[in-house]
């Protein structure tokens, strides 16, 4: 609410909402606000007290408005996937049907994005800043890492600025490429194993509300990381909300299962 008030009272030259404090970047702010949407929606679904659900709906309206005002198309698409998967998780009891529903949802989202890209007018709405040099950034990050450090990467402390023409971008703008740049194929494989194990754990205990929440947050992360992402191991910030919270929930669920198992 504070960020919205600041945006309305003190318009900036970018025409986009910036968050407060460490969220002073519209993309980062949009991703964190999107994670809050998932958390609030989970509360609305599971909270038995009607008064708290009303608070949740008001909060949802405020935070969704903030995400819209950031103008981050990546967050718009990512939160649509996350909300869809969270709602599917709560509405579908059978795990196999849920997986089929997720596949269908992703197909619909991809088809919708491609349809919007095919039309010039809608493409300008979806990509008002073009591809923001994403293709050039990704090509440079991949080719440099593959040529010079494909197995172990350049290390997490190595600056990962990407030069494109006369411009220099601060990072690869894709978490999977960022992990590859910093950790090489080995680091990327470990990241993949961590994601697969987390998903496997969450699906094993699919009936638990915390597993459904983690699936929604993980969906937000894995989709948004296609177009953004910098350091997987970083301070407590957007990466914690988007990815490590889901991993932590999965660890808690797995620990509870082992703790409850008979000796």
Q: What is the CA radius of gyration of the chain?
A: 19
Q: What is the mean pLDDT of residues 60-83?
A: 95
Q: For residue 163, give the H/E element and its range.
A: strand 162-164
Q: Could you please report the per-residue DSSP string of 207-262?
A: TSHHHHHHHHHHHHHHHHTTT----SS-SSSHHIIIIIHHHHHHHHHHHHHHHHS-
Distance CA 239, CA 225 (A): 10
pLDDT in tens, 137-153: 999 999 999 999 999 99
pLDDT in tens, 17-51: 999 988 888 999 999 999 999 999 999 999 999 99
- Comparing 85 with 116, which gets the higher pLDDT? 85
If we measure between CA atoms, which residue out of 219, 215, 217 comes closest to residue 240? 217
The answer, yes or no, to whether residue 131 has pLDDT greater than 80, is: no
pLDDT in tens, 203-220: 999 999 999 999 999 999
The answer, yes or no, to whether residue 258 has pLDDT greater than 80, is: no
Given the DSSP bridges, would you call strands 167-169 and 162-164 parallel, antiparallel or unpaired?
Answer: antiparallel
- Comparing 153 with 119, which gets the higher pLDDT? 153
If we measure between CA atoms, which residue out of 160, 163, 162, 165 comes closest to residue 231? 160
Look up the pTM and report it.
0.93
pLDDT at 262: 65
pLDDT at 261: 67
If we measure between CA atoms, which residue out of 134, 20, 38 comes closest to residue 78? 38
Distance CA 87, CA 82 (A): 9
pLDDT at 53: 95
Distance CA 215, CA 25 (A): 26
Q: In 47-174, where does DSSP find H-type helix?
A: 50-70, 73-91, 95-118, 120-126, 134-148
Find all residues with CB under 8 Å of 205, minimum gap 6, and list them: 211, 253, 257
The confidence band for 256, taking pLDDT boundaries of 50, 70 and 90, is confident
pLDDT at 263: 58
């Amino acid at each position: 609410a504070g960020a919205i008030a600041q945006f309305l009272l003190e318009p900036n030259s970018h025409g986009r909402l910036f968050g407060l404090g460490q969220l002073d970047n519209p993309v980062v702010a949009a991703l964190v606000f999107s994670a809050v949407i998932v958390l609030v929606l989970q509360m609305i679904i599971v909270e038995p007290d009607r008064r708290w659900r009303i608070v949740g709906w008001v909060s949802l309206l405020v935070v969704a408005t903030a995400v819209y005002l950031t103008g981050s198309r990546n967050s718009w698409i990512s939160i649509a996937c996350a909300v869809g998967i969270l709602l599917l998780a709560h509405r579908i009891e059978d795990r196999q049907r849920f997986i089929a529903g997720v596949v269908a949802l992703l197909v619909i989202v991809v088809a919708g994005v491609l349809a919007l890209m095919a039309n010039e007018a809608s493409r300008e709405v979806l990509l008002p800043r073009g591809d923001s040099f994403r293709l050039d950034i990704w090509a440079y990050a991949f080719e440099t890492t593959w040529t010079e450090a494909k197995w172990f990467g350049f290390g997490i402390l190595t600056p990962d600025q990407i030069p494109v023409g006369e411009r220099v971008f601060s990072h690869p703008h894709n978490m999977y490429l960022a992990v590859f740049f910093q950790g090489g194929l080995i680091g990327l494989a470990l990241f993949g194993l961590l994601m697969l194990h987390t998903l496997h754990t969450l699906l094993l205990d699919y009936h638990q509300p915390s597993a459904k929440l983690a699936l929604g947050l993980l969906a937000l992360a894995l989709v948004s990381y296609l177009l953004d992402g910098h350091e997987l191991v970083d301070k407590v910030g957007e990466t914690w909300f988007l990815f490590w919270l889901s991993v932590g929930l999965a660890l808690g669920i797995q620990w509870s299962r082992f703790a409850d198992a008979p000796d």
